Structure 1
Amino acid sequence: MLKRLLGAFFCLFFMQAVAQEKKTGAWYMYFYKTQFKESNWGIQGDVQYRNWNLGGDLEQLLLRSGVTYKVPETPLMLTLGYAHITSGVIGDSDDTSMESRIYQEALIPQKISERFLLTHRFRYEQRWVENQDFRTRYRYNLFLNVPLSKPTMTNNTLYLALYNELFINGQRDIGDGRKVEIFDRNRTYLGLGYALNDKMKFQLAWMNQNVNTQNKGQLQLSFHHQF
């Protein structure tokens, strides 16, 4: 059954990529997290290289890191962080624009039975986008991981990774008479993960991003590292 599931999963990837070749992007991501010894404090962040297509047409280079605090006797983890984003232009142009971003985040893991691992993430962003007025944005992400090859997420476990994230703009006016919608975007993610151990996980996924101007698929490859 597991082999059939893997086969169906990769067939879906191939069919989606072929059917939407001109619209499909590819994102390569590294997520890291560490907790200082004998402390509730730590660091987490990510590096993401995003392509407009399956090749090398830069969509975004995102560098993000934050200081975390694990609230004692609760599952709640808080983060204060900074991100720098370089965004490219679709096509042959090498033009880029820059964004600096400060964010605050609350992460709440939740276990439903032994197999369903939920995580709620609330994030508030303050954004300084090049040639735009100061902006804010609200984000909510619901993650779900489900072990497939074993009852729990232990060493050498295949698992299903799902999430849905909603983005809401804090204001519509971005300067020079330009406006954006209150709804910014929504991301729906379906992935297959492999937990090598409790420190290293890999995911291959398909993510659909719906914004006001387009609906686009993304192939995603990510490495999740805790040290």
Structure 2
Amino acid sequence: MKTKFLFLVLSIFTLSTFSQVDENQTGAWYMYFFNHKFSDSQFGIQGDVQYRAWDLMADQEQLLLRSGLTYTPKNANVMFTLGFANITTGEFGDSNATSNENRIYQEALIPQKIGKRFLLTHRFRYEQRFVDDQDFRTRYRYNLFINVPFNNKSLVPKTIYGAFYNELFINGERIIGNNNNTVELFDRNRTYFGVGYVLNPQIRFQVGYMNQTTNAWSKGQLQFSMHHNF
């Protein structure tokens, strides 16, 4: 009886925490992406550093550090990555409490061009997640990126382009431990529209708006990103 009562209290507390997220408050993500291919090699590195805020800056949602080793087979239109990420997640509002996640991931990145201007990239990612106070978890992700140059036919320097992506997240397991708590099969969806500028062959910038929808809330985020090939 006591165990059932404790589980009920924890469930109510969890729902209360989710409900405190202000869906009308726009957040912001600040992101740096890098990609490097080793000279005369099919191998390279890629990754990103992201600071995500529930508001425009002060209320930390997440700090994400991620990097991986890439491999591009000869005569193949695909790049594979094996990587690792560390994510520190903060609670919405005045609380300074955080939780930590370590993550191993594998992905395949497949570029595609449709017509003269539609530059597509398909990303398939599989994650193995080690989250504080939860059982081992996995997650499947698919992201479709579309870039459309406006004043050129490709992303050459001084090009202004439109950017879109949509990413779907599916949980591999529903029971996550911690008193047998469960999650839904659908984890979240992200839809983004933005505009970018190619500064030079190594650097481009993007700014846009992304809406993220989970089972508990839906929230808008401004996104500012730098994309660096070196």
TM surpasses 0.5 = yes
Q: Spell out structure 1 runs of 4+ moving beyond 4 A.
A: none
- Structure 1 residues 21, 166: CA separation in 2 closer, same or farther (over 3 Å shift)? closer
Q: Aligned match of 1:85 in 62, 84, 87? A: 87
Counterpart in the other structure of 1:155: 157
Q: Percent identity?
A: 63
Unaligned residue ranges in structure 2 (runs of 5+): 1-21
Residues 70-92 of structure 1, C-alpha deviations (whole Å, 9 max, x = no match):
01101110000000000001111
Farther-moved stretch of structure 1 (21-30 vs 158-167): 21-30
Partner in structure 2 of residue 51 of structure 1: 53
Q: State the TM-score, normalized to the length of structure 1.
A: 0.90
Contact 1:41-1:69 at 8 Å conserved across structures: yes
Whether 1:62 aligns to 2:59 is no
CA distance in structure 2 between the aligned counterparts of 1:157 and 1:74, rounded to whole angstroms: 27
Alignment partner, residue 13 of structure 2: none
User: Shift of the alpha carbon at 1:22?
Assistant: 4.4
Whether the 8 Å CA contact 1:21–1:53 is kept in 2: the answer is no
Name the structure 2 match of 1:3: none
Select which of 165, 181, 184 maps to 1:178. Answer: 181
1:123 alignment partner, SS class: strand
Task: String of CA shifts for 1:95-147, please: whole Å, max 9, x gaps.
Answer: 11000000000000001122110000000000000011100000000000000
What is the TM-score normalised by the length of structure 2? Answer: 0.89
Give, as a single letter, the amino acid of the residue that structure 1 aligns with 2:206. Q
- Residue number among 127, 130, 133 corresponding to 2:129 in the alignment: 127
SS at match of 2:173: coil
Q: 2:221 aligns with which of 204, 218, 221?
A: 218
Q: Secondary structure at the match of 2:29?
A: strand
Instruction: Write the distance in 2 (CA, Å) between the matches of 1:157 and 1:119.
Output: 18
**CA distance in 2: counterparts of 1:91 and 1:215, whole angstroms:** 16
Compute the displacement of 1:158 (Å): 0.3
The one-letter code of the counterpart of 2:66 is: R
Aligned with residue 170 of structure 2, among 146, 168, 184 = 168
Name the CA distance, whole Å, in 1 between partners of 2:154 and 2:144.
Answer: 20
Equivalent residue number for residue 103 of structure 1: 105
Equivalent residues of 1:167, 1:184 under 8 A apart:
yes
Give the alignment's Cα RMSD to 1 decimal.
Answer: 1.1
Using the TM superposition, give the Cα deviation of residue 23 of structure 1 relative to its aligned residue in structure 2, in angstroms: 2.3
Match in the other structure for 1:199: 202
Q: Distance in 2 between matches of 1:160 and 1:60?
A: 26
Indicate the residue corresponding to 1:188 in structure 2: 191
2:140: which partner in 1?
138
Letter in 1 for 2:161: Y
CA drift at 1:47: 0.1
DSSP 3-state at the match of 1:28? strand
Q: Which residue of 1 aligns with 2:74?
A: 72
Size of the alignment, in residue pairs? 208
Deviations 1:153-192 (A, max 9, x none): 2110000010000000001000112000000000001010
**Shift, 1:21, TM fit:** 8.4
2:30 corresponding residue in structure 1: 28
* Aligned counterparts of 2:188 and 2:75: Cα–Cα separation in 1: 35
Contact kept in structure 2, 1:107 and 1:119, CA below 8 Å = yes
Q: Which has the larger radius of gyration?
A: 2
Stretches of structure 1 that go unaligned for 5 or more consecutive residues are 1-19
- SS of equivalent to 2:194: strand
